[in-house]
Amino acid sequence: MRPYIKGENVEDYLVEFTNELVNQLPTTGTFVAPRLTEAERDILAEPLTLCTGMIVFNTTSSKLNFCDDPSNATPANRWSVVTSS
């Protein structure tokens, strides 16, 4: 998958990204999260409404992240690490 280009329409990029992801899904019934660096992940948090509920594998930290606070002013703080309870 190609990286996001700064200034590109985010919604158009997400549609392309999602289509590519769906085409790469395994047929075994497993879930494969999109793999993004923290910088790429934070770009996807704009506009705010698009990141709500989004799950990504953060390749910078090697952890699964989800966007749970889209109202936070700082893109990096909109994301939480998925942990087991």
Q: What is the rounded average pLDDT of the residues 15-32?
A: 71
* Of 53, 46, 45, residue with least CA distance to 82: 53
Domain layout of the chain by residue ranges:
10-81
pTM for the predicted model, two decimal places: 0.60
Q: Lay out the sheet containing 55-58: strands in order across.
A: 35-36, 55-58, 63-67, 79-81
Sign, Cα dihedral of 2, 54, 52, 18: positive
| pLDDT, the chain, mean | 77
CA 73/CA 78 separation, integer angstroms: 8
| 55: nearest Cα among 46, 10, 44 | 44
**Per-residue pLDDT for 23 more than 70?**
no
Q: Is the pLDDT of residue 66 over 70?
A: yes
More confident residue, 7 or 45: 7
